[in-house]
Amino acid sequence: MRSLRVLLVEDNPDHAELAGRALLREAHVNEVVRVESGQDCLERLANDCKFDLILLDYSLPGIDGLLTLGEINKNGYDMPVIMVTGHGNEEVAAEAIKIGAYDYVVKSGNYLAALPAVVMKTLENHRIKKEHAQLRENIEQNYLDTLEVLISVIEAKDSYTRGHSEGVSKYAFAIAKEMKLSSGEMERIRAAGLLHDIGKIAIDKQILLKNGPLTDEERKVVQTHCECGVKILKPATFLGEILPIVHQHHERFDGKGYPQGLKGDEIDQGARILAVADSFEAMTSARSYRSAMPFEEAVDEIRRHAGGQLDPEVVEAFLTAVKKIK
């Protein structure tokens, strides 16, 4: 293991001397830098943040250890903090853990003998946390790469679908944002917008690209794309959250949609949002057999179907959101 630098924040010189010696006895700690207050700590970090760990006393002149810890977190310094408290300050220690400290030690008994082990355990936990963060980042990137591949597959089948899917995703995300949904839910809806028509890969190209209205039989074939989409995406377990939207995006608020004939709140909220975005994007896009509907006319059409085909709450959010992205 490489040598380590520790920032010791302690106003009592005797305690600082003893703690410093205890840390230097640990073979991997070769430098202990001491400051006397929370303010000194923050100023030191502003000029030199290449520390591996901060040992932070609670009882400091000026701003105390908890406030200092809060400022450390606010500034985004990537180093673990161990809070040092006096005997009987276990509540302070618990609060420190709550707001971001990795661990704490209590100045009682022979705490200095245990201090090096606590430091090394904290450093190891921090290393593992960083590895997990990198792993999550890699998984998220793989997720985005997978989306790009799947969208390319759709495009190869039907060049119209890519532009449509991206448009649906854009409108659906804007609606979800207007409805003040969580960031996770907005991302789920955005991803579903991109992939909602993936099931069309399984539809005969002659039907999919037919230059004119479909027969009843052909329409039934096209309607299977919702269930086909679920079958295609289901093996990718990380896409599990979007499956209800993919499956239900052609359901209608009044229960007259497909494939299950769900109505109202029986339909996934994301699917109700996608239904509005999908309808609007389809109306405002040209097809080989018809021209695009004018923007304002399409907005009026969405408004007219509120409470019937479309969820009125979603339509209300759409009417506000669409003004911002026109």
Measured distance CA(19)–CA(213) in Å, rounded = 81
Q: Is residue 147 part of a domain?
A: no
Are residues 247 and 169 located together in one domain of the fold?
yes
The one-character DSSP state at 266 is G
pLDDT at 211: 79
Measured distance CA(326)–CA(320) in Å, rounded = 11
Are residues 123 and 229 located together in one domain of the fold?
no
pLDDT 10s digits, 275-301: 999 999 999 987 666 788 999 999 999
Of 141 and 66, the one with more pLDDT: 66
Q: Name the domain count of the chain.
A: 2
Say which range, 21-35, 185-199, 309-323, has the weakest mean pLDDT: 21-35
Within 109-182, residue ranges assigned H as helices are 111-157, 159-178
pLDDT at 258: 96
What is the arithmetic mean of pLDDT over 240-252? 97
Q: How confident is the model at residue 115 (pLDDT cuts 50, 70, 90)?
A: confident
pLDDT at 326: 66
Measured distance CA(59)–CA(107) in Å, rounded = 12
Tell me if 193 sits within 8 A of 180, measured CB to CB: no
Q: Is residue 152 part of a domain?
A: no
What mean pLDDT is reported for the chain?
A: 89
Q: Is residue 144 part of a domain?
A: no
- Is it the case that residue 153 has pLDDT exceeding 80? no
Are residues 53 and 196 located together in one domain of the fold?
no
What is the arithmetic mean of pLDDT over 170-192? 95
Are residues 192 and 311 located together in one domain of the fold?
yes
Cα pseudo-dihedral 230, 235, 241, 245, rounded to 10: -10
Answer with the one of 115, 132, 149 that is the final residue of a domain.
132
Are residues 101 and 167 located together in one domain of the fold?
no
Q: Is residue 301 part of a domain?
A: yes
Say which range, 100-114, 211-225, 295-309, has the weakest mean pLDDT: 100-114
Of 134 and 314, the one with more pLDDT: 314
Q: Is residue 242 part of a domain?
A: yes
Answer with the one of 116, 132, 148 that is the final residue of a domain.
132
Q: Is residue 77 part of a domain?
A: yes
Are residues 124 and 198 located together in one domain of the fold?
no
Q: What is the pTM of this model?
A: 0.62
Are residues 87 and 121 located together in one domain of the fold?
yes
Residue written as tokens 């998220």?
A: 140
Domain range spanning residue 276?
158-324
pLDDT at 159: 65
pLDDT at 27: 55
Q: How confident is the model at residue 82 (pLDDT cuts 50, 70, 90)?
A: very high
Are residues 88 and 32 located together in one domain of the fold?
yes
Of 314 and 73, the one with more pLDDT: 314
Give the CATH number for residue 28. Answer: 3.40.50.2300
Of all residues in the chain, the percent with pLDDT exceeding 70 is: 95
Q: Is residue 204 part of a domain?
A: yes
Are residues 194 and 271 located together in one domain of the fold?
yes
Are residues 8 and 89 located together in one domain of the fold?
yes
Are residues 196 and 301 located together in one domain of the fold?
yes
Give the CATH number for residue 275. Answer: 1.10.3210.10
Are residues 120 and 183 located together in one domain of the fold?
no
Tell me if 280 sits within 8 A of 322, measured CB to CB: yes
Of all residues in the chain, the percent with pLDDT exceeding 90 is: 54
Q: Is residue 248 part of a domain?
A: yes
